[in-house]
C-alpha cells in the first residue's frame, strides 16, 4: 500500500493561543484508506484536516514544526490551489462554504478552474445532483435552503471536483439519518470502486462503523489510538474520553460482562442478530 | 398549563409554496419534547414561530397565552430562548464571556448576578479556558456549546434547541440530556429539534415527527421510534437495539425494544430459556 498523506513530527499552534492544537503527530495515511477521525470536541480534528488541504498554514496563522506531505508535495510549500487538485474538503459549517446565487452555479464554480469542456462540466453537475438527490434544488438560492439541504449542496460542490483524497468534517451533522446513511454508502462506493482515500470526522458512530477500515482517536492534540474500529472501540481509552461506542458494541460488551461471549464484536444490528442466533444454536446443541 | 398552542398553522417564505401546512401542536409546562423528521420537513421553520421571529401566514401560535402575531419579539425573548441550528447565526460578541453576558445585560440584571451566571455557564459548558477568546476561533462543537451557554445563562421559561448534539461526543450529549431533565424538573419547558435517534430514544418521553410541512406522528417515543411505518416515512433509522430486536422477533424478542440494556435483558433471558428446554 502506498502512503498518500504523511505527518512527520508535526505540531501546530494557532496564533493568539497558548497551547498546541496538534502535538507531535506522526501518521501515515494509505491510498484507499477510509478513516474515521474521532475524539472529544476541541481535540484538534478540524485542525488536522486543515493541515492536509493547506488551510493551515496558508490561511490560519500560527506556528508549526515538522511537516505534512500530500502526494509528494510538502503542504507548507504548496499553494492551496495546487493542493485542491488532489484534496477536496467538506467543511464543518456548510453555509460558510456557499456563496453563489443558485445551487447549480455553486456546484459548477470549482469546475471552472479545471479547464473542462462545457459538456463534461454539465455531465458532472447533473451527476452529483442526481446521486445526492438534490435535483429539485438546482435553481434555488443556497441561502433559502434548510440546514440539511445546504449541507448536501456543500458536499456536491466538492464531489464534483472528483478529488483523489476526500476529507469531510462532520458532513452529516445536519442530515436526517437516512441521508447520512446514503452519504456513507456513496463514500464507500467511491472508496471501493475508485480507490478514493477518505478521512471523515463523524459523531454518528452507529452509522459509519460498518464502512470504515481504520479509526484514529485523538485527545488534546495527540493521536491516542489508531486501528481497526472494533479494536479502538473496545479499548478503554474510548470509554475514558467519553466518545461513546456504537450501541451494538455496547450490547456485545454488556453480554461479555455477564459471561456471554460472542465470536467477534458486531459492526451493525444484522451482525449482532446473526451472532445471537449462533449462540442459541450452540447452546441447544450442547 | 399549556405553554405552547399551535392551531392550524400555515407558513410560506415566498408567498407561493407553503412549508408548514396545517400544524396543530400543544406543549404543556414542564414537558420535554423532541421534534424529528427529514431534511426540509419544516422543523426549523416551526420553532422559529415559538419566539416570534416568524409569524403565521395562516392560523395562530400562542406562547404562554400571548399571540405571537401581536406581541413584540423582545417581550417573547424574555420567556423563550432559542438556540439556532447554525451557531454562526447567533454569535457576534468580541469575547466568549461577553457573548454569554449579552442577553443578561439586555434583560437588565445586576452585575453580580450576571457574573455569577456567566461563570456558571462557562463551567457547565466546559468553556472556562476560552473566556477571553473570540467566539470565531472556537472549534465547531465549542461554538455550539457557547450558543447553548448564552441562552441557558439567562434562564428562560421555554428553551428551544435546534440540533444541540451537533459536534458533541457522547459525554457532552449526556451532560446536556441530564441538564434538560433537571430543567424540566424545575418546571421549564424544553423542545429539542434533532436528527439524533439514539439521543431521543434514551432521553425523551415524547416525540413529534414532521414530514413535508405536517406533523405525521406525535406520541410516546417508544411507540413512535419502534413503528417502522413512521420511521420509514420520516427518513429516520430506528436505534440499533430496536433494529436488532426486530430481526430477532421470531425468537420471541419483544418488538418495542428501544435501549441497549433492554436488548441485553431479552437476549439473556432467551439464552436462559434455551438452556432449560
Ligand atoms: N429563508 C428561506 N427562504 C425560502 N425557503 C426556505 C428558507 N428557509 C427554509 N426554506 C425552505 O423551507 C422548507 C423547510 O425548511 P426548514 O429549515 O424548516 O427545514 P428543517 O426541517 O429544519 O430541515 P433540516 O433538517 O434540513 O434543518 C425547506 O424546503 C427549505 O428549502
Ligand atoms: N482559528 C482558531 N484560532 C484559535 N484557536 C483555534 C482556532 N480554531 C480552533 N482553535 C482551537 O484549537 C483547538 C482544536 O480545535 P479544532 O477545531 O481542531 O477541534 P475539533 O476536534 O475539530 O473540535 P470539534 O469537534 O468541536 O469541532 C481548540 O482548542 C480550539 O479552540
Ligand atoms: Mg471540528
Ligand atoms: Mg433545520
Pocket of ligand 2 contains residue B185 by CB under 6 Å: no
Which structural domains are found in chain B, ordered by start? Answer: 2-227 (3.40.50.300), 239-277 (no CATH)
Confidence of residue B276 (pLDDT cuts 50, 70, 90): low
pLDDT, mean over chain A: 92
User: CB distance A16–B137 less than 8 Å?
Assistant: yes
Q: List % helix, strand, coil for chain B (3-state, nearest 5).
A: 45, 20, 35
The tens digit of pLDDT for each residue in B183-231 reads: 999 999 999 999 999 999 999 999 999 999 999 999 999 999 999 999 9
User: CB distance B247–A273 less than 8 Å?
Assistant: yes
What is the C-alpha separation between A36 and A48, in angstroms, rounded? 13
In this predicted structure, what is the pLDDT of residue B131?
Answer: 96
The tens digit of pLDDT for each residue in B81-101 reads: 999 998 988 888 999 999 999
Confidence of residue B275 (pLDDT cuts 50, 70, 90): low
For residues A208 and A200, the answer to whether their CB atoms sit within 8 Å is: yes
The tens digit of pLDDT for each residue in B107-151 reads: 999 999 999 999 999 999 999 999 999 999 999 999 999 999 999
Q: Where are the beta strands (DSSP E) in A112-259?
A: 165-169, 197-201, 214-219, 222-227
pLDDT, mean over chain B: 94
User: CB distance B237–A148 less than 8 Å?
Assistant: no
Q: Is the pLDDT of residue A54 over 90?
A: yes
In this predicted structure, what is the pLDDT of residue A138?
Answer: 95
Helix axes B260-276, A269-285, angle to 10 degrees: 20
Instruction: Output the nine-digit C-alpha cell for B35.
Output: 421534534
Give the residue whose CA is nearest to atom 29 of ligand 2: A42
ipTM of predicted assembly, 2 dp: 0.92
Q: How far is B220 from chain A (nearest CA, A)?
A: 20
Confidence of residue B169 (pLDDT cuts 50, 70, 90): confident
Place of cell 443578561: B104
For B:242-271, CB contacts with A below 8 A are: 243-244, 247-248, 251, 260-261, 263-264, 267-268, 270-271
A149 contact B CB<8A: yes
Tell me what the mean pLDDT of segment B29-51 comes to. 97
Place of cell 486543515: A50
Quick one: which H or E segment has residue B261?
A: helix B260-276
Q: How far is A54 from chain B (nearest CA, A)?
A: 18
Preferred mutation among B139, B144, B276 to probe A, highest tally of A CBs within 10 A: B139
Q: Judging by DSSP bridges, how do beta strands B58-63 and B2-11 pair with one another?
A: antiparallel
Higher pLDDT, A193 or A68: A68
The tens digit of pLDDT for each residue in B247-265 reads: 999 999 998 999 999 999 9
Q: How far is A92 from chain B (nearest CA, A)?
A: 7
Q: Judging by DSSP bridges, how do beta strands B189-193 and B32-37 pair with one another?
A: parallel
Q: Is the pLDDT of residue A241 over 80?
A: no
For residues B65 and B49, the answer to whether their CB atoms sit within 8 Å is: no
Higher pLDDT, B7 or A240: B7
* pTM, two decimal places: 0.94
In this predicted structure, what is the pLDDT of residue B44?
Answer: 97
Helix axes A118-131, A147-159, angle to 10 degrees: 140
- Residue numbers in B near A260 (CB within 8 A): 267-268, 271
Query: What are the Cα distances from residue A94, in Å, to A190, A205, A241, A255, B48?
Result: 21, 21, 27, 40, 21
A62 contact B CB<8A: no
Amino acid at each position: 500500500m502506498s502512503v498518500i498523506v504523511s505527518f512527520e513530527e508535526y505540531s501546530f499552534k494557532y496564533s493568539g493561543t497558548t497551547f498546541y492544537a496538534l502535538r507531535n503527530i506522526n501518521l501515515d495515511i494509505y491510498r484507499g484508506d477510509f478513516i474515521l477521525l474521532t475524539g472529544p470536541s476541541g481535540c484538534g480534528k478540524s485542525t488536522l484536516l486543515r493541515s492536509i488541504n493547506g488551510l493551515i498554514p496558508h490561511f490560519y496563522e500560527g506556528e508549526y514544526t515538522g511537516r505534512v506531505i500530500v502526494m509528494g508535495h510538502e503542504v507548507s510549500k504548496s499553494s492551496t490551489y495546487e493542493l485542491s487538485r488532489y484534496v477536496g474538503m467538506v467543511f464543518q459549517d456548510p453555509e460558510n462554504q456557499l456563496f453563489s446565487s443558485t445551487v447549480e452555479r455553486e456546484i459548477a464554480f470549482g469546475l471552472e478552474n479545471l479547464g473542462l469542456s462545457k459538456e463534461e462540466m454539465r455531465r458532472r453537475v447533473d451527476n452529483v445532483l442526481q446521486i445526492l438527490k438534490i435535483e429539485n434544488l438546482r435553481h434555488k438560492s443556497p441561502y433559502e435552503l434548510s440546514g440539511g439541504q445546504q449541507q448536501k449542496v456543500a458536499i456536491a460542490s466538492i464531489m464534483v471536483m472528483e478529488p483523489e483524497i476526500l476529507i469531510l468534517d462532520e458532513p452529516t451533522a445536519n442530515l436526517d439519518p437516512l441521508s447520512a446513511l446514503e452519504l456513507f454508502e456513496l463514500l464507500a462506493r467511491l472508496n471501493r470502486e475508485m480507490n478514493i482515500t477518505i478521512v471523515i470526522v463523524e459523531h454518528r458512530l452507529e452509522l459509519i462503523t460498518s464502512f470504515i477500515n481504520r479509526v484514529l482517536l485523538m485527545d488534546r492534540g495527540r493521536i491516542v489510538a489508531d486501528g481497526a474500529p472494533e479494536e479502538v472501540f473496545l479499548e478503554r481509552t474510548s470509554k475514558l474520553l467519553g466518545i461513546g461506542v456504537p450501541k451494538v458494541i455496547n450490547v456485545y460488551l454488556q453480554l461479555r460482562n455477564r459471561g456471554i461471549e460472542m465470536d467477534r464484536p458486531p459492526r451493525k444490528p444484522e451482525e449482532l442478530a446473526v451472532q445471537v442466533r449462533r449462540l442459541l444454536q450452540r447452546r441447544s446443541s450442547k | 398549563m399549556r405553554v405552547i398552542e399551535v392551531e392550524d398553522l400555515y407558513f410560506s417564505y415566498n408567498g407561493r409554496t407553503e412549508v408548514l401546512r396545517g400544524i396543530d401542536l400543544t406543549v404543556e409546562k414542564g414537558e420535554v419534547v423532541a421534534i424529528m423528521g427529514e431534511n426540509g420537513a419544516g422543523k426549523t421553520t416551526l420553532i422559529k414561530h415559538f419566539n416570534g421571529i416568524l409569524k403565521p401566514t395562516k392560523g395562530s401560535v400562542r406562547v404562554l397565552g400571548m399571540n405571537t402575531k401581536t406581541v413584540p419579539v423582545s417581550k417573547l425573548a424574555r420567556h423563550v430562548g432559542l438556540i439556532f441550528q447554525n451557531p454562526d447565526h447567533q454569535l457576534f460578541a468580541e469575547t466568549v464571556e461577553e457573548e454569554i453576558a449579552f442577553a443578561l445585560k439586555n434583560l437588565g440584571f445586576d452585575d453580580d448576578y450576571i457574573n455569577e451566571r456567566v461563570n456558571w455557564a462557562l463551567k457547565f459548558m466546559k468553556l472556562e479556558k476560552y473566556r477571553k477568546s473570540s467566539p470565531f476561533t472556537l472549534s465547531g462543537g465549542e461554538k455550539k456549546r457557547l450558543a447553548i451557554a448564552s441562552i441557558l445563562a439567562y434562564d428562560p421559561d421555554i428553551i428551544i434547541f435546534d440540533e444541540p448534539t451537533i459536534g458533541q461526543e457522547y459525554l457532552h450529549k449526556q451532560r446536556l440530556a441530564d441538564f434538560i431533565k433537571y430543567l424540566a424538573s424545575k418546571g421549564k419547558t424544553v423542545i429539542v429539534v434533532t436528527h439524533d435517534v439514539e439521543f431521543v430514544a434514551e432521553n425523551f418521553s415524547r416525540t413529534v415527527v414532521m414530514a413535508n410541512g405536517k406533523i405525521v406522528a406525535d406520541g410516546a417515543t417508544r411507540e413512535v421510534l419502534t413503528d417502522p411505518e413512521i420511521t420509514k416515512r420520516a427518513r429516520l433509522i430506528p436505534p440499533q437495539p430496536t433494529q436488532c430486536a426486530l430481526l430477532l422477533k421470531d425468537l420471541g424478542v419483544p418488538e418495542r425494544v428501544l435501549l441497549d440494556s433492554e436488548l441485553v435483558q431479552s437476549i439473556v433471558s432467551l439464552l436462559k430459556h434455551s438452556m432449560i428446554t
